[in-house]
Chain A
Protein backbone atom coordinates (compact mmCIF):
# COMPACT_ATOMS: atom_id res chain seq x y z
CA UNK A 1 0.00 0.00 0.00
CA UNK A 2 1.26 3.42 -0.92
CA UNK A 3 0.99 5.84 1.99
CA UNK A 4 0.95 9.57 1.31
CA UNK A 5 0.58 12.68 3.40
CA UNK A 6 -1.63 15.37 1.86
CA UNK A 7 -3.06 18.64 3.05
CA UNK A 8 -6.51 20.00 2.37
CA UNK A 9 -6.63 21.19 -1.23
CA UNK A 10 -3.94 18.76 -2.36
CA UNK A 11 -4.63 15.82 -4.64
CA UNK A 12 -3.48 12.36 -5.60
CA UNK A 13 -3.55 10.98 -9.14
CA UNK A 14 -4.40 7.34 -9.81
CA UNK A 15 -3.44 6.43 -13.35
CA UNK A 16 -4.07 9.14 -15.91
CA UNK A 17 -7.61 10.11 -15.13
CA UNK A 18 -8.58 9.57 -11.51
CA UNK A 19 -7.98 12.54 -9.20
CA UNK A 20 -8.63 12.34 -5.47
CA UNK A 21 -8.60 15.66 -3.68
CA UNK A 22 -8.58 16.14 0.08
CA UNK A 23 -11.25 18.77 0.64
CA UNK A 24 -11.25 18.99 4.38
CA UNK A 25 -9.84 17.20 7.44
CA UNK A 26 -11.73 17.74 10.63
CA UNK A 27 -10.97 15.51 13.60
CA UNK A 28 -11.18 11.91 12.42
CA UNK A 29 -13.34 12.77 9.40
CA UNK A 30 -11.76 13.50 6.05
CA UNK A 31 -13.79 14.70 3.08
CA UNK A 32 -12.56 13.61 -0.30
CA UNK A 33 -13.50 14.74 -3.78
CA UNK A 34 -13.09 12.14 -6.51
CA UNK A 35 -12.95 12.81 -10.23
CA UNK A 36 -13.10 9.71 -12.40
CA UNK A 37 -14.13 8.81 -15.95
CA UNK A 38 -17.77 7.89 -16.54
CA UNK A 39 -17.09 4.18 -16.71
CA UNK A 40 -15.29 4.13 -13.38
CA UNK A 41 -17.81 3.77 -10.60
CA UNK A 42 -16.95 5.32 -7.27
CA UNK A 43 -18.61 3.81 -4.21
CA UNK A 44 -18.07 3.70 -0.49
CA UNK A 45 -16.33 0.38 0.10
CA UNK A 46 -19.00 -1.03 2.39
CA UNK A 47 -21.73 -0.24 -0.15
CA UNK A 48 -19.71 -1.84 -2.94
CA UNK A 49 -19.09 -4.99 -0.87
CA UNK A 50 -22.75 -5.27 0.02
CA UNK A 51 -23.75 -4.94 -3.61
CA UNK A 52 -21.14 -7.46 -4.70
CA UNK A 53 -22.46 -9.93 -2.11
CA UNK A 54 -26.06 -9.31 -3.15
CA UNK A 55 -25.21 -9.84 -6.83
CA UNK A 56 -23.31 -13.06 -6.14
CA UNK A 57 -26.22 -14.33 -4.09
CA UNK A 58 -28.67 -13.45 -6.87
CA UNK A 59 -26.55 -15.00 -9.65
CA UNK A 60 -27.60 -18.24 -11.29
CA UNK A 61 -30.54 -19.25 -9.08
CA UNK A 62 -31.45 -22.93 -8.82
CA UNK A 63 -34.22 -24.29 -11.02
CA UNK A 64 -36.27 -24.95 -7.85
CA UNK A 65 -36.05 -21.31 -6.83
CA UNK A 66 -37.01 -20.14 -10.32
CA UNK A 67 -40.01 -22.48 -10.36
CA UNK A 68 -41.12 -21.30 -6.93
CA UNK A 69 -40.99 -17.72 -8.16
CA UNK A 70 -42.82 -18.43 -11.43
CA UNK A 71 -45.55 -20.22 -9.46
CA UNK A 72 -45.90 -17.22 -7.16
CA UNK A 73 -46.36 -14.99 -10.21
CA UNK A 74 -48.93 -17.33 -11.74
CA UNK A 75 -50.95 -17.51 -8.52
CA UNK A 76 -51.16 -13.77 -8.40
CA UNK A 77 -52.51 -13.46 -11.93
CA UNK A 78 -55.50 -11.12 -11.57
CA UNK A 79 -57.37 -12.99 -14.33
CA UNK A 80 -57.54 -16.14 -12.27
Chain B
Protein backbone atom coordinates (compact mmCIF):
# COMPACT_ATOMS: atom_id res chain seq x y z
CA UNK B 1 0.00 0.00 0.00
CA UNK B 2 1.20 3.48 -0.72
CA UNK B 3 0.07 6.86 0.46
CA UNK B 4 0.16 10.20 -1.21
CA UNK B 5 1.81 13.05 0.58
CA UNK B 6 1.21 16.74 0.35
CA UNK B 7 3.78 19.46 0.67
CA UNK B 8 3.14 21.70 3.61
CA UNK B 9 4.70 24.81 5.03
CA UNK B 10 7.74 24.14 7.16
CA UNK B 11 6.84 26.86 9.66
CA UNK B 12 5.02 24.38 11.87
CA UNK B 13 8.01 22.10 12.30
CA UNK B 14 9.45 21.42 15.70
CA UNK B 15 12.51 23.40 16.62
CA UNK B 16 15.47 22.56 18.75
CA UNK B 17 15.19 25.11 21.57
CA UNK B 18 18.95 25.31 21.98
CA UNK B 19 19.52 26.23 18.36
CA UNK B 20 16.26 27.90 17.50
CA UNK B 21 16.25 25.93 14.27
CA UNK B 22 14.60 22.68 13.25
CA UNK B 23 17.06 19.81 13.68
CA UNK B 24 16.56 16.86 11.41
CA UNK B 25 18.03 13.41 12.01
CA UNK B 26 18.66 11.18 9.03
CA UNK B 27 17.27 7.74 9.85
CA UNK B 28 19.44 6.55 6.97
CA UNK B 29 22.39 8.69 5.84
CA UNK B 30 22.16 10.33 2.43
CA UNK B 31 23.97 8.32 -0.27
CA UNK B 32 27.48 9.71 -0.54
CA UNK B 33 27.45 11.21 2.97
CA UNK B 34 27.44 8.30 5.41
CA UNK B 35 29.00 10.28 8.27
CA UNK B 36 26.33 12.98 8.42
CA UNK B 37 23.25 12.20 10.48
CA UNK B 38 22.18 15.52 12.02
CA UNK B 39 21.19 18.55 10.00
CA UNK B 40 19.67 21.93 10.78
CA UNK B 41 17.19 23.52 8.45
CA UNK B 42 17.84 27.20 7.77
CA UNK B 43 15.42 29.37 5.84
CA UNK B 44 17.09 31.29 3.01
CA UNK B 45 14.09 32.95 1.44
CA UNK B 46 11.28 34.95 3.04
CA UNK B 47 8.54 33.07 1.22
CA UNK B 48 9.78 29.73 2.48
CA UNK B 49 10.77 28.56 -0.98
CA UNK B 50 14.41 27.82 -0.25
CA UNK B 51 16.17 26.28 2.72
CA UNK B 52 19.67 25.16 3.56
CA UNK B 53 20.09 21.76 5.17
CA UNK B 54 23.37 22.13 7.03
CA UNK B 55 25.30 19.29 8.64
CA UNK B 56 25.76 19.65 12.38
CA UNK B 57 28.91 17.53 12.15
CA UNK B 58 30.46 19.72 9.50
CA UNK B 59 28.78 23.10 8.88
CA UNK B 60 30.66 23.40 5.61
CA UNK B 61 28.43 20.68 4.19
CA UNK B 62 25.07 21.98 3.19
CA UNK B 63 22.38 21.13 0.71
CA UNK B 64 19.86 23.50 -0.77
CA UNK B 65 16.38 22.08 -0.41
CA UNK B 66 12.94 23.32 -1.34
CA UNK B 67 9.35 22.21 -1.00
CA UNK B 68 8.65 20.81 -4.48
CA UNK B 69 5.06 21.98 -4.79
CA UNK B 70 5.61 25.60 -5.91
CA UNK B 71 8.06 24.49 -8.58
CA UNK B 72 6.52 21.19 -9.64
CA UNK B 73 2.76 21.39 -9.00
CA UNK B 74 2.15 18.01 -10.61
CA UNK B 75 4.65 16.25 -8.37
CA UNK B 76 2.85 13.84 -6.06
CA UNK B 77 5.09 10.89 -5.27
CA UNK B 78 3.82 7.83 -3.51
CA UNK B 79 5.70 6.88 -0.38
CA UNK B 80 5.91 3.23 0.58
CA UNK B 81 4.94 1.94 3.99
CA UNK B 82 8.47 0.85 4.79
CA UNK B 83 9.48 4.52 4.74
CA UNK B 84 6.84 5.29 7.36
CA UNK B 85 8.26 2.49 9.47
CA UNK B 86 11.85 3.71 9.13
CA UNK B 87 10.81 7.22 10.15
CA UNK B 88 8.50 6.08 12.98
CA UNK B 89 5.71 7.91 11.23
CA UNK B 90 2.34 7.60 12.89
CA UNK B 91 0.42 9.99 10.71
CA UNK B 92 1.34 10.13 6.98
CA UNK B 93 -0.19 13.61 6.82
CA UNK B 94 2.68 14.81 8.99
CA UNK B 95 5.25 14.00 6.32
CA UNK B 96 7.08 16.85 4.67
CA UNK B 97 8.76 16.56 1.29
CA UNK B 98 11.90 18.45 0.37
CA UNK B 99 13.63 18.23 -2.96
CA UNK B 100 17.43 18.52 -3.15
CA UNK B 101 18.52 21.33 -5.45
CA UNK B 102 21.69 21.47 -7.50
CA UNK B 103 22.32 25.17 -7.93
CA UNK B 104 24.40 26.31 -10.86
CA UNK B 105 24.96 29.82 -12.15
CA UNK B 106 23.55 28.74 -15.53
CA UNK B 107 21.02 26.07 -14.65
CA UNK B 108 19.42 24.83 -11.47
CA UNK B 109 17.95 21.37 -11.12
CA UNK B 110 15.89 19.54 -8.54
CA UNK B 111 16.18 15.86 -7.66
CA UNK B 112 12.65 14.55 -8.06
CA UNK B 113 13.72 10.90 -8.07
CA UNK B 114 14.96 11.04 -4.50
CA UNK B 115 13.21 13.58 -2.28
CA UNK B 116 14.03 13.93 1.39
CA UNK B 117 11.03 12.84 3.40
CA UNK B 118 10.77 14.31 6.90
CA UNK B 119 8.41 13.20 9.65
CA UNK B 120 7.49 16.47 11.32
CA UNK B 121 6.71 14.82 14.67
CA UNK B 122 9.84 12.73 15.11
CA UNK B 123 11.97 15.01 12.88
CA UNK B 124 13.47 11.88 11.42
CA UNK B 125 14.20 11.97 7.71
CA UNK B 126 15.53 9.93 4.85
CA UNK B 127 16.21 10.38 1.19
CA UNK B 128 13.74 8.11 -0.53
CA UNK B 129 14.45 6.69 -3.98
CA UNK B 130 11.19 6.50 -5.90
CA UNK B 131 12.16 3.41 -7.88
CA UNK B 132 10.11 2.90 -10.99
CA UNK B 133 8.46 6.31 -10.68
CA UNK B 134 10.11 7.73 -13.78
CA UNK B 135 10.88 10.99 -11.93
CA UNK B 136 14.19 12.55 -13.00
CA UNK B 137 17.27 13.09 -10.86
CA UNK B 138 17.81 16.46 -12.53
CA UNK B 139 14.58 18.29 -13.30
CA UNK B 140 15.15 21.84 -14.45
CA UNK B 141 13.60 24.28 -12.02
CA UNK B 142 11.16 26.69 -13.53
CA UNK B 143 9.21 29.54 -12.10
CA UNK B 144 5.70 28.15 -12.18
CA UNK B 145 4.38 30.38 -9.43
Q: How large is the interface on A (under 10, 10 to 19, 20 to 34, 35 or more residues)?
A: 20 to 34
* Contact-residue bracket for chain B: 35 or more
- 10 sampled A-B residue pairs with Cβ under 8 A: A38-B85, A55-B100, A62-B105, A65-B104, A66-B64, A69-B108, A72-B143, A73-B50, A75-B143, A76-B143
Interface of B is mostly: loop
In chain B, what residue has the closest Cβ to A58? B102
**Which residues of A approach B to under 8 Å, CB–CB?**
38-41, 43-44, 47-48, 50-62, 64-66, 68-70, 72-73, 75-78
Whether a CB of chain A sits under 8 angstroms from the CB of B114 is yes
| A-B contacts besides A48-B31, A54-B111, A76-B145, 12 pairs, CB < 8 Å | A43-B129, A43-B131, A52-B32, A54-B102, A54-B138, A61-B64, A61-B102, A66-B64, A69-B50, A69-B101, A72-B141, A78-B145
